[in-house]
Chains A and B, each alone.
Chain A
Amino acid sequence: MVKYIAKRLLLLIPTLFGVITLVFFMIALSPGDPARVMLGERANAEQIEELRQELGLDKPLIQQYGLYLKRVVQLDLGKSIATGQRITDEIKVRFPATIELAIWAMIFATIVGIILGVTSARKRNSWVDYTTMGGALVGVSMPVFWLALVLIMIFSVRLDLLPTGGRMNVRYYFEPITNYYVLDGLIILFKTGDSKFIISALQHLVLPTIALGTIPLAIIARTTRSSILEVLHQDYIKTARSAGIREKRVIYRYTLKNALLPIITVIGLQFGLLLSGAILTETIFAWPGIGKWIYVSIGARDYPAVQGGIIFISTFFVLINLVVDILYSVINPKVRLQ
């Protein structure tokens, strides 16, 4: 087991190296001079040249690449052109927002998805099954940004129940402690007994959670259903049934446990995808996370920010996939032994 994990970790190094290299050259070779873009139309040649020197753009490309690689290895992603802040600090502020949303979306998708999938499998070929699976198919066919707008249209504009965007009621005097607003709200609730922060944080989470969680929910429901149906064909389930064990117990105790492997894999993969899928959701709900930040940085031609953001997200994505693989091999010894 240790050997397997070590091998996988070692394989991570060339992949991440490739990611950094690809990102660097994609951005460096893209048309347009970042210095000119940053300074705008009115800058003169001297100012541009000065900035080029400051950014190291006057050096040969391969030397720039070497310097960049050296800094990234030291976990230094450079400074944002737009704000002058260090990229790592920019990420530190925004990452909790993205993670908080992703976790809630995943909890929502997993719980509802598994329940729907199990119900569908238990009552297969009934109208419950057809409706659920039809709904799941619609779920994966839907544009997320459109769903988000429709949700805003119904719940914020028409019914005036939930906020249209942001993470916290702007009128509250709120100072983040951990930047995970639900956690912060809880801390404040315990410290001062003031519940308005936690309530506001949760209210702001509802619509983005549904919008971001719908696709993973549909995929989890479909995987759960097919995985359970496959296990139900196995002999030991027939044995359990013929032993007179109640159907509910057969499903939850014996079937679900053995059907979990593909479900866990899908959950892990979807979680990784959520981080980038959040670009659309975060943009629509004015959610100050990494996705929205990368999108804004692209528009502002803030190249160091774009590079840093992509390297960060990709690293995180690769790590999550690794954790999923390791988890998979823990549950399923067959993989480890190969």
Chain B
Amino acid sequence: MANKDVNVKNSIKIETVLKEPGPWSESWYNLKKNKGAMTGLFIIVIFILMALFAPFISPHDPEAQTIAMRKSPPLTEGYLLGTDDLGRDMLSRLIYGSRISMIIGVVSVGISLVFGLLIGVISSYYGGWIDKFIMRIIDIMLAFPYILLTIVIVAILGPSLTNAMIAIGISQIPKYARVVRASVLAEKESDYVLAERSLGTSDLELMFRTILPNCLSATIVQATLGVGEAILSSAGLSFLGLGAQPPTPEWGLMIASSKEFITNAWWIVTLPGIAILLAVLGFNLLGDGIRDILDPRMRE
């Protein structure tokens, strides 16, 4: 009898917990059911762990050259994934490379996110000529094909990893600004905003404290996918010699400097590409998953 009581109590407790989940815990609950998103998250976590603990898990110094061991194939003793043309350990370089790629992803998405949010919110909140003017500039930026814009900005700033991140960040701003603008536009006439406004809340507070938090879902999807895109773009820039410079163990650069060896050392060109592929795949899976759970149409 007593036992049953406890059970009833417990079930009531559970029910109340389930009935009023916060917006985040509900999303997390849905996300956990999405296999693709979880796979993506798993991949991302692995890469982040590799990036954080690179010095501890790398078997060798990523820039140490052992000339005697040049171009050793994978599974050579002491070199699990082989060595490159200068006798540097591939595995260690790939591990350190994840550090660079994660930083690139976060920094360039950070740049586009900050400016995109600011521009998008201001543009759509004030409307009128400010909105028209900003949107014209956005249109002009979108008239440049994205890759071309990035390449030109880097060419002007000078080729380096930092400038590549800045270039990628800048050329993605229009995308974020548009997404944010559209969602703010949908929110700004809602009752809760009007109510806040009638209480005399300042514009700044209305924009960033009242409206913005309700517009973030589309931006989160965009940002997650954006990290993958940034990793791809920076690899491309480095491949063209416009990003990271040797001997940085950046994945795109590793592919570029191994071009001549495709005839006799397949692993030098193949492995960094697989690393890029996996990292980008992780962010794409997670981004797609988040979009699916946030889009009511996709829910069964």
Contacts and interface: CB of A to CB of B under 8 A. Distances in A.
Contact of A145 (B146, B239, B280): B239
Given A30-B156, A280-B239, A272 B145 contact: yes
B215 interface: no
Interface size grouping (class) on chain B: 35 or more
Interface string B122-145: 000000000000001101110111
Given A313-B148, A314-B145, A150 B281 contact: no
Given A15-B143, A18-B140, A157-B263, A141 B156 contact: no
Contact of B269 (A15, A22, A150, A318): A150
Contact of B140 (A19, A149, A272, A295): A19
Nearest to A157: B263
Contacts of B145: 272-273, 275-277, 313-314, 317
B152 A310 contact: yes
Residue with the greatest number of chain A CB neighbours at <10 A, chosen from B145, B281, B285:
B145
Contact of B148 (A150, A157, A276): A276
B228 A141 contact: yes
Interface stretch (B47-55, B65-73, B270-278): B270-278
Majority SS of interface residues in chain A? helix
Nearest to A299: B241
Given A15-B139, A30-B156, A141-B228, A279 B276 contact: no
Given A26-B156, A145-B239, A279-B151, A273 B146 contact: yes
A200 B284 CA distance: 38
B120 interface: no
B252 interface: yes
B136 A14 contact: yes
Interface in B202-256: 228, 232, 235-236, 239-241, 252, 255
Interface string A58-78: 000000000000000000000
A143 interface: yes
A138 B148 contact: no
Residue with the greatest number of chain A CB neighbours at <10 A, chosen from B146, B262, B288:
B262
Contacts, number: 126
Interface in A286-319: 294-295, 298-299, 306, 310, 313-314, 317-318
Given A19-B143, A273-B146, A141 B255 contact: no
B155 interface: yes
A145 B140 CA distance: 28
Contacts of A275: 145
Interface size grouping (class) on chain A: 35 or more
A203 interface: no
B182 to A, nearest CB: 16
A23 B151 CA distance: 13
A142 B280 CA distance: 8
A174 interface: no
B147 interface: yes
Given A145-B239, A150-B273, A294 B148 contact: yes
Contacts of A277: 145, 147
A236 interface: no
A313 B266 CA distance: 35
B284 A146 contact: no
A280 B240 contact: yes
Nearest to A277: B147
Nearest to A133: B36
A141 B273 contact: no
B259 interface: yes
B255 A276 contact: no
B158 interface: yes
Interface in A144-176: 144-147, 149-150, 152-153, 157
Contacts of A26: 152-153, 156
A27 interface: yes
Nearest to A316: B145
A277 B143 CA distance: 15
Contacts of B255: 143, 145-146, 149
B144 A150 contact: no
Nearest to B269: A149
Contact of B285 (A137, A146, A283, A318): A137
Given A141-B281, A143-B235, A145-B252, 6 more contacts: A143-B276, A153-B270, A272-B145, A273-B146, A276-B146, A298-B155
Interface of B: 136-137, 139-141, 143-148, 151-153, 155-156, 158, 228, 232, 235-236, 239-241, 252, 255, 259, 262-263, 266, 269-270, 272-273, 276-277, 280-281, 284-285, 288
Per CB-CB distance, the 5 closest pairs between chain A and chain B, nearest first, are A276-B145, A146-B273, A18-B140, A30-B156, A141-B280
